[in-house]
Amino acid sequence: MESGGDRVLRSRCQAIPKMPTFPDLDNSLDGECNQKQHQQGNGGNHVSSNGKIEVEHVISKKLQLKRKAEYLKSDLMHQFDSQVNDFMDSLIEESASLEPALVPAVFSPPLSDKERSKLGSFRPPHGQGKLFVSRRSLLDELFEVNHIRTIYHMFIALLILFILSTLVVDVIDEGRLVLHFDLLVYAFGQFPLVVCTWICMFLSVLLVPYTLFRLWSQTQSGSCSHPRLCSVLFGSAFLLYQALGVGFLPTYVVVTNSFPPASCFIIILEQVRLMMKAHSFVRENVPRVLTWAKEKTSPRPVVPQVSQYIYFLFAPTLIYRDKYPRNPVIRWGYVATKLLQVLGCLFYAYYVFVRLCIPQFHSIRVLILFLGFFAFLHCWLNAFAEMLCFADRMFYKDWWNSTSFANYYRTWNVVVHDWLYYYVYRDLLLMSQRRFRPVAMLLVFTVSAVVHEYILAICFGFFYPVLFCLFMCFGMMFNFILHDQRKGPIWNIIMWTSLFLGQGVIICLYSQEWYAQSYCPLKEPSFLELLKPRSWSCQRGLTADSDRP
């Protein structure tokens, strides 16, 4: 007759999972099961003298089973979480590319005509293009996880330590608190002129492109006897305005007034942003008017309202749409938090340079760098998005998890990547009937490298094409070597190592050139001397001077 302990042991032996395998544990349990079954075949006379299993043996086996169950649970949950995340990501991407009519009714009730019209307004005015959907920024979701939020708190603690260390050093060295911010005052110098320049630039972008487009659309409705000639004239006027009105004049103001670095960045970055927005507005609406001119589906072409254009100029996107997904309310507390975080990043950069960089260069001024990603792509864009009720907050993706540079380029700055993809890469493929894909990719890298180098050259006041060379040489090379088929942690490590090296080279070389330009100015430089990096000769001069008695 089988005892209760035998039945429990038999059921336990039969219920042991087969994956993952633990050779020592499996052999132990299998041996025990075979031993018990052999004992049962002999009448069960060899269990123990009193018919009970020893307590220590049972506890040992229970602990082994518990460890195996915990491992199985962890492994299954990890696989399940990974598969669910992949499934949801692919589902979101696929659903974003589907027409509303193709969504099965099993997921949601049928859409009304009003809802279909509202959803369709988020689509591009013509053909295929970026579809805006309501979604949160990735860091906002990650900060809800306690472990990630703790890392954010650690950075805040470091900022507090920087401030306290600065105050303590001032008290020890000066005998009092020295609360001056000469570096920030210098970097944001001539701020009233900066504001006036930005207002003039913004008003011109508000009036000129919209007026030119509206007048051109009227020529397509029959007011012009030669529509193609009118298109050429208005197109030439728009390009001339882009080159002179937005391109040359702000740069001339910056150079002639010798704006300091931060003030230069404000004007030049806004110049590039407004040029890209004006191009997007014209690029997205011209095909719609041309389609109307062929089909004549309405009495006159559909021209966006001024309010729609103004909203687009402030919206945190470079892709024009008549309407965007909107949030119902503005969370002013959220806006205040993001603006305070931008201010915190500014002071963070200030204290890093004051405590770590300036002591290394006593006789020269310092180059300000900003905590660009968090301050701008997350805090600044989210603050404006919240004030405008702009619901699509995918300004970046999880670029830190990239295992390839191709994925890093797509996820680091989604706002700029979308513009380059739709208006440079895809438009060139459409014009060439998809025959010059490598040329289109090369053009994207070239445009990005030229614009980045232009911004740095104007803001720093010298030409030193380090970033351009890194973009065109190493950037292109890594884009093909570290491609999307590279998976696994080792490739993420390689990508981060390359980023650290690249950022270190950029900071060191541009900083040296900045110091050399200030320490070794040329009285009457020739054109070739302006192109030659000053740090190459200034370093030798400094060494020679230091050797003199």
Q: Which residues are catalytic?
A: 452
CB 406 within 8 A of CB 482: yes
Instruction: Please give the Cα distance from 512 to 531 (Å, whole number).
Output: 15
CB 407 within 8 A of CB 352: no
- Burial category of 293 from C-beta neighbours within 10 Å (exposed 0-12, middle 13-18, buried 19 and up): middle
538, containing H or E segment: helix 534-547
CB 278 within 8 A of CB 120: no
Six token digits for residue 349: 């950069």
CA 468 to chain centre: 20
Residues 6+ apart with CB under 8 A from 104: none
Residue type, 218: Q
CB 386 within 8 A of CB 330: yes
Maximum distance among all Cα pairs of the chain, rounded to whole angstroms: 113
How is 389-434 classified by DSSP, letter by letter? TB-B--S---GGG-SSHHHHHHHS-HHHHHHHIIIIIHHHHHHTTT
DSSP H helical segments within 257-305, as ranges? 261-295
Supply φ then ψ for residue 176, to 5 degrees.
-160, 170
Closest C-alpha among 106, 92, 191, 161 to residue 397: 92
CB 494 within 8 A of CB 408: no
- Burial category of 193 from C-beta neighbours within 10 Å (exposed 0-12, middle 13-18, buried 19 and up): middle
The vertex-433 CA angle with 429 and 437, nearest 5°, equals: 40
493, containing H or E segment: helix 489-519
